[in-house]
Structure 1
Amino acid sequence: MLKTLTRRAALVASTALVSAHTAQAQDNAIAFDDSAYLGELVLGESKREVATETAIPTTIIDAAEIQDRQAGTIAELIDSVPGVNLVNGSTAAGSGINIRGFGANSTFGTDQKVLIQVDGATKGSEELYRIGSQLYTDPHLYREIEVLRGTIGSFEFGSGVFGGVVRLESINASDLTQGEIGTRVRQTLQASSNGNGLVSSTTVAWQPTKNAEFLANYTYRKLDVREDGDGNEINPDGGDIGDPSWLVKGRFTFGEALDQSLTLSYSETNQQSDDVPYDTFGTADFGNVDREISNNVATAQYNWNPADKSWLNLTAELTYSDEEVISQAIDRTASAGTLALLDADNRYQTTTLRLKNEALFNTGLLDHTLRTGVEWIKRERQDATAGSAPGGEKDVFAIYAVDAVQIGDAWTVTPAVRYESQTITPDAATGLAGQEFDADALMGGLALRYAFANGIAVFGSASYTENLPIIDDLFSTDLINQSEKGTTYEIGVSYEGDSIFNDGDTLALKLNYYDQSLRDLTTYRSFTPGNSIVNVDRQGYELEASYSMASGIYVDFNGHISDGTSTTEGGTVADWRQNPADNLRLTLGKKINKSVDLSWELEAAKRYDRDATDISPGYGVHNIRATFLPQQGVFEGTEVRVSLENVFDKQYTPRLSTRAATGRNLTVAVSKVF
């Protein structure tokens, strides 16, 4: 219950437009999250909380759930969030994240409409052809993942967010040391049957004083080719994947009142696959390549949060992201055009300087939580071999303000505004040397929430955003001068209460309806004149619910129902080709005591057949999980997690994917804190 109350307090303090984690004022004393590191289960809690105290559709996956799911990729971890779907989640390099019908597709790993941040550093590629997700990193490096769906809630993080925002926060040393002076080591070994996967993750946390902490993590992940429910190899030419990742992080607290802090971190993930198809989606045969992928993130954050100045909580962040995909063709006899594609080396370097402040003040009966910020972003894209992808530099300046205004105990009114201006300078190889392309946009939104005294709340929001041109648009003088525009309207209701059916039980529900309209689209181009998609309209419902009893029984449920249409330049209206299937996920579990947690999960999707040429059969997949946390004896401090996914070895291909899903997979993980 303490965890629930803490989360509620954080959400109440947040705005209706940004996440509880981001909005919470930073405490410069070293803080830690004990949700997954105490070595015991908490009765009366489900696996995931429902964010009922905020108007935005947000879901937080905490450290306990990250460990519980034993996912191989971040994409596999967040697909349990309503509105989130994977494109080829069974393949690491090919998997992509799609939120509310936007994001990854079978042509590009991203359509620039889903924003990803790792420790504040913005990730993601331009439009890499036939290469999947650009989120190459390992789940073992992170303590919390937050998914914000839709536009409302995105203005503090970027522009052009039609699908949503995925934010990852890396683990801290104090998660293991619990704020106590000393050294702790956490070792995890994991094995999976499908693909003969092996994982070793070692974390060393050292806290020499109360005001300093240091952490180092090294994770190595190995995975061979997986099989689907019929026993067929999902990507037979994919070979095995060796995926080392590591993280170093330090945090210092200083000042006369210990009201200042400095956090430094660096993480790196590498992935190498030899003699694999260039097309990670398996939809076309361009030939095979040796491919090496690296993903590096460096961050430095300074915070000053004096206790006697409620109007001052200043943070300065400097982040650097370096993403590189190096490919080399195996068959050197291919045509010059094919070799240019297969040999293309793509590199993205993004440097961001961000200054932001959170001010708490009141004006009469109005209590304000005002967050303001300014950003300078430099993004450099290497010109790929033979010009298969244009190179250049994008310089961005942005300023934003989000003010959560609390009126009494019932009303929360939150306006938000963001202004962004950019300049794209092409590389000489593009043939546009000496030219510059400027664009700017003013965007924003408004959220309203009214809370009744009985635990029911109603909320709604309206937002407008623009997706400014990207470096990839340099190949067209029309596209480089056109921004994509979109509006989103949402309305919903939530409820949270205690002792509903039995003493000590807790029920939380949140239902949200959204209506999105995108115009002047440039991403979905066609080689056939008049067939390029320029407008997309989508509507959908998202439901999240959790119920837990003091006896340890719990239920988690979420579902997503949506529909959408697209319109071409020629005026043809059709089902939006990235419409996800209606789906739900239900978990029933029982925490027998502080040591044992048993759960069953159903993942189901409805048949999609609105278009006779685009049919995706429905399916239902069962997963079971067990967690054992011995509380005494020689195994005290040891964690054993066992999961059996796709229990009945179901053969199915999820909607939006081009490859079949993974068949039955038994995973066993053993962790020990020393």
Structure 2
Amino acid sequence: MLKTTLRGTTALICLSLAMPAAAQDSPSFDDPGYLGTLVLTGGKRDLSFGTALPRTVVEAEEIEDRQASTVAQLIDSVPGVTLVNGTTPQGSGINIRGFGANTTYGSDQKIAVQVDGASVGSEELYRIGTQLFTDPLLYREVEVLRGTIGSFAYGSGIVGGVVKLETRNASDFTGGLPGFGGSQTFEYGSNGNAWVTSTNLAWMPADGAEFLLNYSLRDQGDLAAGDGTIIGNSAFRTPSYLAKGRFTFGQDNAHTLSFGHSRTVADDRDVPYDQFETTAGSFGRVDRVTDTRQTTLEYGYNPASDLIDLRATLSYADQSIDTTYIDGSSPFQMGAPVTVFCANPFFGVICADNRYETTKLTVSNRAVFTTGGIGHDMLAGVEFMRRVRLDAPSAPGGQDRRFAAFVVNEMAMGPVTLTPAIRYESSDLQSAVPLAGVPDSYASDALMGGVSLAYDFGNGLSVFGSAAYTEGLPIIDDLSASAVSQARLGMSEKSHTFEIGVEYTGMDVFAPGDNLTIRGNAYRTRLWDITSYTVSGSTATDLDKVESHGFELEASYGMASGVYVDLAGHVGNGTEFNPDGSTVVWRNSAADRIQMTLGKKWGDDFDLSWEVVHAADRRDALGDALPDSTIHNLRASWRPGQGWLDGSEVRLGIENLFDQDYVGHLSSSSRKAPGRTVKLSLTKSF
């Protein structure tokens, strides 16, 4: 399959971030068949060629093929992405290029996560994961954008990257035609006696109207590691729901109105408070109910004009984490009444309820025009956001009101594409409680931006580079009267990233009918005026700066016979600088990792593959060295396509084939990775 389109650079990702797919019937700039990239299908993952952006897309086929338990587990195959602390939605975190989840919080505000445009999972809650509580089977696509250069239509302070999830549509099951459709999936996993059921019901009563309902339930017991020991605190049960509706109307279907709502609930009883660990430890045990909801309402107007492609997206994300401490389960309680223990300023975090709500309105327009022989593809927009958080021990409450304006202009000049991007953002923080002796509100703003340049030699070879600068404005977590917080509230955290790379794509490269896509890019990031990381062993002294660098490689090769090879890898390192001038290895650096998949497809009916993942230079959550690890995974999928089996799919996966005993990079040493796991899934479409 070959898709040829306009060449894209920064605008490619920025536009796709700002404008969710399926908003109109005519081609749109967020449709990969329109957007400016040459996409060659070799193996399981289609690789984009012709952009200056490190972008990886995991589509529905791969989502189902990987049989992942969490979104974090699904995307850890992307170069530079690390899954921190296991395969449960409660404890796992996403780290990109050394930023994101860390050993204390599930987020450091330097990666952003969107579900259908709603901002989720970015709170710094102590010893709680990324808060991305959702099920992979709700989604038709997960897009990972690494680094800063493509983030300016999304937010400020993005250093690691952006994870954008798009839920399924009714048209995915009806083929875009009026009528009924849907699917039913059952899955079983041998490790932890895990099982999943996922039901999709789709209805298009007429052209221009579609509705989708999904219910998914995932249940997993405690997993076993490669040495046979039980991995404590690895069981979970999460029901998820999704409802979507979309209407297209007006002359030439210029108007669209869509609605989406998803929800996932995790009801955990008698579990360790510390989601990163496997036992109760010092923090004791709790009953915890986590309720996550996202709602999006979007209006689109795309008349027969190159100058107007308008979107207005209103989103609301709400997550509550209700925690009930189990009396006597923490050794710190030392016989004190539970009311006294929970009232302690330090230990109160174990008993605290957390809730945060984010309401966001984004209005943007895309215009395509020409001036003086230069083609412009320009996105301009404004964004209003209000985040409210409940006050709790170690998690200050308050509200953060933000306004942002951004412009991204892709300018095509023959083989050269130049894309400048700029974003202005202002923030007003207001504490939920009075702060002793200091103001209760703080205002700040910043101007940030970047530029990318790509040159196409016209023979399948392209070179590219980019430079980006961003600022992370003060956040609700810094609302405190302490000297450390006051210093952080008085400045923004700054970073710049430079990237350079080369890519090649071609057909009939080594044999008739084959295709090859390969891309390599090097990056270097510097973070200073740091407000989110302290010197090792200190809670009051921030680092002076952090520098990181690395090289990412993605490649896909496919032959006419159906044989294919996929490759993804990352090598890199980083340094953290203390105020006294001393340096140590950056504690959150991604591991050196290479992943290769060798497989063969027999048409669309059968796919058999062998995946090898080797990781080196690994460390646990405390920074202690871990040995290299090599994991083997086997996968097979079969679509019978005949008789009563037409529309059915059978998938078999064997993960950690040789039952290796190991700990994942940046994970707690007690939380080992799962041992051998056999997964079988059956799907029937109707």
Specify if TM > 0.5.
yes
CA 1:12–1:648 in structure 2 vs 1: closer, same or farther (change >3 Å)?
A: same
Tell me the residue number matched to 1:317.
313
- Give the stretch that moved more between structures: 488-497 or 119-128: 119-128
Equivalent in 518, 524, 529 of residue 533 of structure 2 = 524
Q: Say if 2:360 and 2:385, in contact at 8 Å, map to a contact too.
A: yes
Tell me the residue number matched to 2:389.
381
Q: For 1:68, what is the secondary structure of its paired residue?
A: helix
Query: Residues of 2 paired with 1:435 and 1:250: CA distance?
Result: 42
Tell me the residue number matched to 1:341.
349
Tell me the residue number matched to 1:616.
626
1:90 shift after superposition: 2.5
Q: Say if 1:426 and 1:432, in contact at 8 Å, map to a contact too.
A: no
CA 1:44–1:52 in structure 2 vs 1: closer, same or farther (change >3 Å)?
A: closer
- Give the stretch that moved more between structures: 371-380 or 578-587: 578-587
- The amino acid across from 2:676 in the alignment is R
Tell me the residue number matched to 1:477.
486
1:242 shift after superposition: 1.5
1:62 shift after superposition: 0.7
Tell me the residue number matched to 2:246.
251
Tell me the residue number matched to 1:38.
none
Query: Residues of 2 paired with 1:11 and 1:223: CA distance?
Result: 44
Q: For 2:74, what is the secondary structure of its paired residue?
A: helix
Q: Deviations over 1:578-627 (max 9, x none)?
A: 11210011000100232110000001101447999631211100000000
1:19 shift after superposition: 6.2
1:71-110 → structure 2 map (5 Å cutoff): 71-110=68-107
Q: Say if 1:447 and 1:460, in contact at 8 Å, map to a contact too.
A: yes
Query: Residues of 2 paired with 1:252 and 1:141: CA distance?
Result: 21
- Give the stretch that moved more between structures: 184-193 or 333-342: 333-342
1:134 shift after superposition: 1.2
1:522 shift after superposition: 1.2
Query: Residues of 2 paired with 1:347 and 1:612: CA distance?
Result: 29
Residue 186 in structure 1 maps to residue 183 in structure 2? yes
Tell me the residue number matched to 2:405.
399
Q: Deviations over 1:627-658 (max 9, x none)?
A: 00012122111100110000000001121111
Q: Say if 2:619 and 2:665, in contact at 8 Å, map to a contact too.
A: no
- Give 5+ residue unaligned stretches, structure 2: 33-38, 329-336
Q: For 2:645, what is the secondary structure of its paired residue?
A: coil
Q: Say if 1:507 and 1:545, in contact at 8 Å, map to a contact too.
A: yes
Query: Residues of 1 paired with 2:9 and 2:395: CA distance?
Result: 45
- The amino acid across from 1:510 in the alignment is R
What TM-score, normalized to structure 2?
0.92
Query: Residues of 2 paired with 1:43 and 1:560: CA distance?
Result: 22
Query: Residues of 1 paired with 2:419 and 2:85: CA distance?
Result: 38
Query: Residues of 2 paired with 1:12 and 1:239: CA distance?
Result: 42
Tell me the residue number matched to 1:39.
none
Q: For 1:654, what is the secondary structure of its paired residue?
A: coil
Query: Residues of 2 paired with 1:67 and 1:612: CA distance?
Result: 34
Query: Residues of 1 paired with 2:352 and 2:607: CA distance?
Result: 48
Tell me the residue number matched to 2:681.
669
CA 1:305–1:366 in structure 2 vs 1: closer, same or farther (change >3 Å)?
A: same
Query: Residues of 2 paired with 1:49 and 1:559: CA distance?
Result: 16
Q: For 1:51, what is the secondary structure of its paired residue?
A: strand
Q: For 2:643, what is the secondary structure of its paired residue?
A: coil
Tell me the residue number matched to 1:270.
265
Tell me the residue number matched to 1:222.
219
Equivalent in 576, 588, 591 of residue 581 of structure 1 = 591
Equivalent in 569, 594, 597 of residue 559 of structure 1 = 569
CA 1:80–1:19 in structure 2 vs 1: closer, same or farther (change >3 Å)?
A: farther
Q: Say if 2:70 and 2:88, in contact at 8 Å, map to a contact too.
A: no
Tell me the residue number matched to 2:511.
502
- Give the stretch that moved more between structures: 473-482 or 142-151: 473-482
What TM-score, normalized to structure 1?
0.94
CA 1:328–1:572 in structure 2 vs 1: closer, same or farther (change >3 Å)?
A: same
Residue 125 in structure 1 maps to residue 122 in structure 2? yes
- Give 5+ residue unaligned stretches, structure 1: 36-41
Q: Say if 2:503 and 2:520, in contact at 8 Å, map to a contact too.
A: yes
Identical columns (%): 47
Query: Residues of 2 paired with 1:535 and 1:528: CA distance?
Result: 15
1:52 shift after superposition: 1.6
Q: Say if 1:10 and 1:20, in contact at 8 Å, map to a contact too.
A: no
1:362-381 → structure 2 map (5 Å cutoff): 362-381=370-389
Tell me the residue number matched to 2:276.
281
Query: Residues of 1 paired with 2:296 and 2:221: CA distance?
Result: 33
1:440-455 → structure 2 map (5 Å cutoff): 440-455=445-460
Q: For 2:644, what is the secondary structure of its paired residue?
A: coil
1:672 shift after superposition: 0.4
- Give the stretch that moved more between structures: 20-29 or 456-465: 20-29
Tell me the residue number matched to 2:652.
642
Query: Residues of 2 paired with 1:432 and 1:188: CA distance?
Result: 58
Q: Deviations over 1:376-418 (max 9, x none)?
A: 000000001xx3321000000000000000001x100000000
- The amino acid across from 1:393 in the alignment is Q
- The amino acid across from 1:324 in the alignment is S
Residue 28 in structure 1 maps to residue 24 in structure 2? yes
- The amino acid across from 1:452 in the alignment is F
Q: Say if 2:208 and 2:249, in contact at 8 Å, map to a contact too.
A: yes
Residue 115 in structure 1 maps to residue 112 in structure 2? yes
Q: Deviations over 1:140-187 (max 9, x none)?
A: 111111000000000010000010000011100001101111111210
